[in-house]
Amino acid sequence: MKKKAKNIGVRADVNNRNKWCAVPYYVWMIIFIVVPLVMVVFFSFTDSDYHFTTANYEKFLTRGANGELIYVTTLLRSLGLALIATLICLIVGYPVALILSSKRIKRSDLLITAIMLPTWMNFLLRTYAWMTIIGRNGLLDTLLALIGLGPVEMIGTNGAIILGMVYNFLPFMILPIYSVMAKMDHSLVEAATDLGANPLQVFLRVKLPLSMSGIATGITMVFMPAASSFVIPNLLGGNKVSMIGNTIEDQFKSAGNYNFGSTIAMILMVCILLSMLIFNGKGDKEEMIM
């Protein structure tokens, strides 16, 4: 009895100490996450003289000359393109993560490094490189011309933007899935095989459900930056296909309208949050079923 009480005391002590260790992180989070968020909310509900207004949200519903909701259309276009890019990343990235995590691959750490390698280079630089590759009279056109194939028109299309997104964000899909799969208890796979499951069943009933959390993280990490990107549509989209990130950039950088810029950022944030809830909710449910 006495011993137990002492133990609890020690634990409380450790907890206390841990609490103090966390203080810097709380301070950090307040300064760099909470305060900016509060500022964005504040800006979105005020005009340039700091008076309360909902005009910014009403402005978001502006209709253009042709009757279309210009900002809403841009937002939907961004979410759509980001969704396509995320799906492609998943379809391409999942098998890669699966193969890398399998025991048969030697030096998978080296291969993972190779996948990470491009991200060590500046994001802008990599996107500029694609501009010279798929641009008019660029590398791709020159190579295709050598084998007698016509020039491809990529710059300024949705395809170019999706390509840029997939290239830039693919590692963020592969890594979380890989890290979940690499940690997976291999005896579960062996048990399934022993109990007569064929490879497909092993994958569908064991590996896939266990990797769901990695998939959810991967989707989040690709979808979020993709939906709000503006450099890729700038350079590869030739500024022709405008995404919501461009509109936000315009409001902050050139128009100097922080209020409307914050409003769009808020709306984008809510949209991403909602889509994340949908994605993750699905992931959890499937995990529960298993």
| Closest CB 137 distance from another protein, rounded Å | 6
* Rounded CA separation 179/163 (Å): 25
Taking the least distance from each CB to another protein, the nearer of 77 and 282 is 77
Smallest distance, Å, CB 240 to another protein? 6
Least distance in angstroms from the C-beta of 65 to another protein: 6
Handedness of CA 215, 219, 220, 222 (dihedral sign): positive
Long-range contact list for 274-282, CB < 8 A, 24+ apart? Answer: 275/79, 275/223, 276/220, 276/223, 276/224, 279/216, 279/219, 279/220, 279/223, 280/216, 280/220
**Cβ neighbours of 104 (radius 10 Å):** 6
Q: Nearest CA to 206 among 197, 215, 214?
A: 197
Cβ proximity to another protein: between 250 and 280 the closer is 250
Work out how close the CB of 138 gets to another protein at its nearest, in angstroms, rounded to a whole number: 8
Residue closer to another protein by CB (options 96, 160) is 160
Q: Which is nearer to another protein, 161 or 210 (CB)?
A: 161
Question: Which region, left, alpha or beta, applies to residue 196 given φ > 0 means left and ψ of -120 to 50 means alpha?
Answer: left
Closest contact distance (angstroms) between CB of 176 and another protein is 32
Which of 122, 254 has the CB closer to another protein?
Answer: 254
* Backbone phi and psi for residue 257, each to the nearest 5 degrees, phi listed first: -95, 80
Q: Which residues pair with 227 in a beta bridge?
A: none
Q: Which is nearer to another protein, 135 or 225 (CB)?
A: 135
Query: Which residue's structure tokens are 């990529």?
Result: 154
Binding footprint of another protein on the chain (CB under 8 A): 62, 64-66, 68, 70-71, 73-74, 77, 131, 135-137, 153, 155-156, 235, 238-242, 246-247, 250, 252-257
**N residues, the chain:** 290
